[in-house]
Homo-oligomer: A and B are copies of this chain.
Amino acid sequence: MKQRKQTIYFRNRPYILSGFSIAGKKEGNGPMSSWFDRVIEDDTYGESTWEKSESKMLKTAMTEAVRKSGRSNDEIGAMLSGDLLNQLMSSSFMARDMHIPFLGMYGACSTMTESLMLGSVLVDGGYSDNVIIGASSHYCTAERQFRMPLEHGNQRPPSAQWTATAAGAMLIAQKSDSDDTECSMIDADGDIHQLRKVRVESGTIGKIIDAGVKDSNQMGSAMAPAAIDTILNHLEDTGRSMDYYDIVLTGDLGYTGKQIVIDLLEDAGIDRNTISNVYNDCGAMIYKPEQDTHSGGSGCGCSASVFAGYVYKQMMTGNIRRALIISTGALLSTISPFQGESIPGIAHAISLESE
């Protein structure tokens, strides 16, 4: 039996009072389209640089999540946010305009559940009544920072993933008065639902797992072992089996990494049918195969927008009652591969319940 438990339980199970997801044009043409709260037709979002476009998307997500919660900025004790850009440029410049106490997070693409973890701790422990959290990414900022200038038009290998142009935000609160928020919603199929409350039940903080992958076009392979480590630790800590959850969703492993997780879950003795019934990956869900993204989506905004859009809304309507969401991050730096380093992976899991 292992010595240390990595899972923390939220005694008061804080409420996710609101969520907001915003996505770019390509993402808006994908399978998640109807779940996003807003799709922008122009990926510049009216700004003069890609970094400012991404920052504005994140600001929209944060501002709209606050508005939908019925809270004012003054009632929010802290904002936790991160992105892929050097020095968290999107988050820092977004937060400058919000006048909310700010804590910057960096977990690469694991940032959404990292922020959700620490935001929930702040609320659950009684340190803040309301905390807003979020994360973003943008194809054009990520390409020029991590890979090649877009103008190169370089060839990408089949294992490469497409950084999602998207952002997501959630407002975590100690109290949920039914007056505060919308009580019914029309879903993508036109059905009206009485809305359930979504609560944060527990979270598993991930350890860094480095599988020795050195190819930065193999992010899915680099992150999959960390995802598996966190999922298995979560199940062991909580004494749950995988089918306790209606859905178990990794962040951005893409087609390649998703298949590795399926194989490793089977190796760990989990039933093949259970895996195919409950497990999926946001990076494999956000684009259609014919959108030619090669191995699917990635970026902080990929899981942020799918969690704040699809998962949160499906939980509010009661189609999903229990969800385990696991954003996954590759903690390489832009220069570490040139110094001979392999890619450290990390993943943090959050258990959500609707009631």
Question: Are the C-beta atoms of A74 and B127 separated by less than 8 Å?
Answer: no
Question: Are the C-beta atoms of B92 and A103 separated by less than 8 Å?
Answer: no
Is A25 an interface position by the 8 A CB rule? no
Is A346 an interface position by the 8 A CB rule? yes
Q: Name the contact of A87 in the complex, choosing from B74, B128, B332 (C-beta under 8 A).
A: B332
Q: Name the contact of A85 in the complex, choosing from B52, B96, B128, B333 (C-beta under 8 A).
A: B333
Q: How far is the CA of A88 from the CA of B52 in the complex (A)?
A: 22
In angstroms, how far is the closest chain B Cβ from the Cβ of A202?
Answer: 10
Is A102 an interface position by the 8 A CB rule? yes
Question: Are the C-beta atoms of B208 and A102 separated by less than 8 Å?
Answer: yes
Question: Are the C-beta atoms of A86 and B334 separated by less than 8 Å?
Answer: yes
Number of this chain's copies in the assembly equals 2
Question: Are the C-beta atoms of B334 and A87 separated by less than 8 Å?
Answer: yes
Is A215 an interface position by the 8 A CB rule? no
Q: How far is the CA of A6 from the CA of B131 in the complex (A)?
A: 12
Stretch at the interface among A154-162, A180-188, A301-309, A335-343: A335-343
- Contact pattern, A 134-146, Cβ under 8 Å of B = 1, otherwise 0: 0000000000000
Question: Are the C-beta atoms of A87 and B106 separated by less than 8 Å?
Answer: yes
Which residues of the other chain, B, contact A107 by a CB distance below 8 angstroms? 103-104
Is A241 an interface position by the 8 A CB rule? no
Q: How far is the CA of A114 from the CA of B346 in the complex (A)?
A: 21
In angstroms, how far is the closest chain B Cβ from the Cβ of A123?
Answer: 10
Is A118 an interface position by the 8 A CB rule? yes
In angstroms, how far is the closest chain B Cβ from the Cβ of A18?
Answer: 19
Q: Name the contact of A335 in the complex, choosing from B4, B86, B95, B206 (C-beta under 8 A).
A: B86
Which residues of the other chain, B, contact A344 by a CB distance below 8 angstroms? 92-93, 95-96
Question: Are the C-beta atoms of B124 and A335 separated by less than 8 Å?
Answer: no
Q: Which of A100-126 contact B (CB under 8 A)?
A: 100-108, 114, 117-118, 121-122, 124-126
Q: Name the contact of A106 in the complex, choosing from B88, B128, B341 (C-beta under 8 A).
A: B88
Q: 5 A-B Cβ contacts within 8 A?
A: A6-B77, A87-B331, A87-B334, A89-B335, A101-B207
Given contacts A86-B334, A87-B331, A102-B208, 9 further A-B contacts (CB under 8 A): A49-B339, A86-B335, A87-B334, A89-B336, A95-B344, A96-B344, A103-B105, A105-B106, A121-B121
Binding site for B on A (CB under 8 A): 3-4, 6, 8, 48-49, 51-52, 74-78, 82, 85-89, 92-93, 95-96, 98-108, 114, 117-118, 121-122, 124-128, 205-208, 210, 331-336, 339, 341, 344, 346, 348
